[in-house]
Structure 1
C-alpha cells in the first residue's frame, strides 16, 4: 500500500474499519503456511519526542514539470513540482531533464537547487558527460528534502488534472526511479527494504480499483502477504505485509552531495530572486530544481504548498518495519502523514502533532507487552517545556 492510499484510511484503519485505496495482490509463503511475525513495539511517549519538523511540499494541480524554456541566450530546463513524491520520482525526472539537456550543444550546466531533485539531476548529468555546478540558497541538512517522509510513494499527492502524455511521462519516471533506487540499497546511501504493515478487517484480492494505483507500472508492484489474527500484533482481524523501500534523508542527501563533488562537480551557495539573476551565471544551460521556489523565481502561479509535519522519537534499533504513519530510521522513529494544502505557515500545528502521537499510542499500546513508556500528556502540561521544533523552508530545493 502506498502512503496516499493509507491516508484514505486514516487512524480508523488501526481500529478495524477497513482498507481503502490500494487493493494489493495477495501472495502466500512458499510453504503454504504463513509464519506469525514478531514485531517490537515502538515506545511512544511525549518524553521521547526529540523534535517536530515542518516542510512545504511543492504541489502543482497539473503535476510536475519537465520542460525547456528560453530566457534570452539561456535555456532553462524545468524539473520541479513533485508534491509529496520528490524523493520517489527524483531519479526518474532527472533522466527526463537530462534527455532535454542533451539536445543542447553546451556541456557546462548549472543546476539550481540542492535538494533531492537537484542532487539526482546533477548526478545523471555527470554520468552523461556534463560539467555541473549546483547553486542553491540552502544545502543539506537544511533543505525541504531533509524534512520528507521518504518512503517510496511515487503517487503520493497524485493529481487528477492530468493528460495521457503526462501519465506516460509519469510512468517512465517511476520505472527509472525504481531501478535507480535499487542500485543504491545499502548503509552508505541510507536506502533499504523493510516490511510495511497495513492493518485491516476487509482485505480484497486483485489489482486496485483506485485510478492512482492503476497508473503505477506493474513492474514496481510488490505482492502483499495476508496475515490473519494471531499472525500479527495489530488489533484488526488482518494485516497486509508488503516489502517497501525506505530512504534516510540525513544519510542519502549527504551521500549524493559527496558523489557530486567526487565526480568533479561544484556546489556554491547563491540565491536567485528572478530570471534576470541568471545573467550572473557563466553557464548558458540551466536546470531549475527549485521546488516551491519556482513560484517566485519563475512565476509559476500554479504552484502551491502542501504543508507536512513530522514528529521524531528517540531511535529504536530493534524497530525494522513500517506501519500507519510510522517509519523507523537511524536518526529516529518518524511519525507523520500531515498534509495541509495551501498552508504556508511554518509553525508546528500542535493539534496535528497531538493527533499523530495519539494515533501511534493506540497502535503500539495494543501490542502484546507493548505498554507505553509513559502515557499521553495534555497540551497544557507541555506548555512550559515543549519538544524542540525545527522549521525548515528552502525555497530553492
Structure 2
C-alpha cells in the first residue's frame, strides 16, 4: 500500500487543480506540473457558469455536475475568497420541468422566464453558481499549497518524465500529444469583456442562428460571449467575431451596445466525444490516470470528476 504516496498531476486548469486538491487533502504528496501559470490556463478564459456545456457522456456528467453543485454551494458562502457566487439568470431554450429533472430537484426557485427577462423565447429563471476564475484559480492553488502540494511551471513532452509512482494526466488539449489521442481537439471560444452597464443577472441563449450568446456579470466587468468553432487553433481575437458577439448580446440586453470594451479573450476548449477518465499503465509499469476531454464543461463537473479520479488513484494501491 502507498496511500500517502507521491502523485504528479500534469496540468493546472480547473480540472488539474481540483484533482490535485482532492488528492492532497486525502493525504497524497502532490506536485502539479503546468506549462503555463494558473492565471494563463484555458480555464482562466472560462465564463464560468455551472451548467453542462459540450461535455459527454451526459449520464456521467450529470453525476459529476451535481456533486460539483454541492461543493460550489458551500464555496459560495465565501465569495470574496473563493470567487464563487450564486447568481440568478436565464437559461434560454429550456423549460423549468426539464431543468428540474436534470438537476434532480437540487435547485429551488425555478420558473419560466418572462418575455422581459428573455425576449428570445422560452427560458428558465434559475439561481446557479457563477465563478470568477480570476479569483477561483488562484484560490484553488492556495488551497493545494495549504494541503502540502506544490505547483511547478515546466513543459512536459511525455508523461514518462513525471517522476512519481502515479501520474494524473489533466493536460486538456495537450493530451493530443502526451497521450497520443487525436480524438481530443480544440473548440475555439472567444469572448468580449466590457464595462458593466448595470446588469446583475446572467443570460445564456442559443440565438436564432444557433450562435451562442451569453452575458455573465463578474465583479467590475461583464463577460460577453461567445463562439464554438470546432478544430480552430488560433488564439488571436477576431475583430469581426467580437463585433458579432456584442451584436448578439445587445439584441438580448440593449444596454450593452455602447459598453466600453476592456479586453478580448480566446480559449481552446479540449473537446472529446467523451471525457476520458480511466486508469492505465505507463511503458515502465507506473500508474497513469487519464483525466481530460471536458470540453466547455470543466468548471461544471470539476469536483465530481476530481473525486472519481482520486478514487482511481487509490484503487491503484490495491494489489
Task: Determine if the TM-score, normalized by the shorter chain, exceeds 0.5.
Answer: yes
The structural deviation recorded for 1:310 is: 0.9
Residues 87-113 of structure 1, C-alpha deviations (whole Å, 9 max, x = no match): xxxxxxxxxxxxxxxx86562111111
Equivalent pair of 2:190/2:264 in contact (CA under 8 Å): no
Match of 2:17 among 77, 96, 119: 119
Distance (whole Å) between structure 2 residues aligned to residue 388 and residue 178 of structure 1 = 29
Q: Identify if the C-alpha distance between structure 1 residues 168 and 265 changes in structure 2 by more than 3 Å, giving closer, same or farther.
A: same
Matched, 1:157 2:37: no
Match of 1:350 among 215, 226, 239: 239
Match of 1:362 among 251, 267, 283: 251
Residues 257-276 of structure 1, C-alpha deviations (whole Å, 9 max, x = no match): 11111222111111111234
Residues 107-144 of structure 1, C-alpha deviations (whole Å, 9 max, x = no match): 21111111101111111112211111111111221110
* 1:140 aligned residue: 38
Q: Which runs of 5+ in 1 are unaligned?
A: 1-102, 376-385
Matched, 1:329 2:218: yes
TM-score, reference length from structure 1 = 0.58
* 2:6 aligned residue: 108
Matches within 5 A, 1:123-202: 123-154=21-52, 156-159=53-56, 162=57, 168-185=59-76, 186-198=79-91
Q: Which runs of 5+ in 2 are unaligned?
A: 205-213, 271-290, 293-319
The structural deviation recorded for 1:250 is: 0.1
Matches within 5 A, 1:31-42: none
Matched, 1:295 2:176: yes
The structural deviation recorded for 1:158 is: 3.5
Distance (whole Å) between structure 2 residues aligned to residue 106 and residue 123 of structure 1 = 14
Matched, 1:263 2:161: no
Distance (whole Å) between structure 2 residues aligned to residue 149 and residue 374 of structure 1 = 18
Backbone CA RMSD of aligned residues = 3.2
TM-score, reference length from structure 2 = 0.71
The SS at the match of 2:19 is: helix
Matches within 5 A, 1:1-397: 105=3, 107-154=5-52, 156-159=53-56, 162=57, 168-185=59-76, 186-198=79-91, 206-207=97-98, 216-228=102-114, 232=116, 235=119, 240-278=124-162, 281=163, 283-315=164-196, 318-324=198-204, 325-365=214-254, 370=255, 373=258, 389=264
Equivalent pair of 2:11/2:32 in contact (CA under 8 Å): yes
User: Could you tell which deviates more after superposition, 306-315 or 170-179?
Assistant: 170-179
Higher relative contact order (CA 8 A, sep 6+): 1
Aligned length: 261
Distance (whole Å) between structure 1 residues aligned to residue 34 and residue 155 of structure 2 = 6
* 2:305 aligned residue: none
Distance (whole Å) between structure 1 residues aligned to residue 247 and residue 46 of structure 2 = 21
The structural deviation recorded for 1:248 is: 0.4
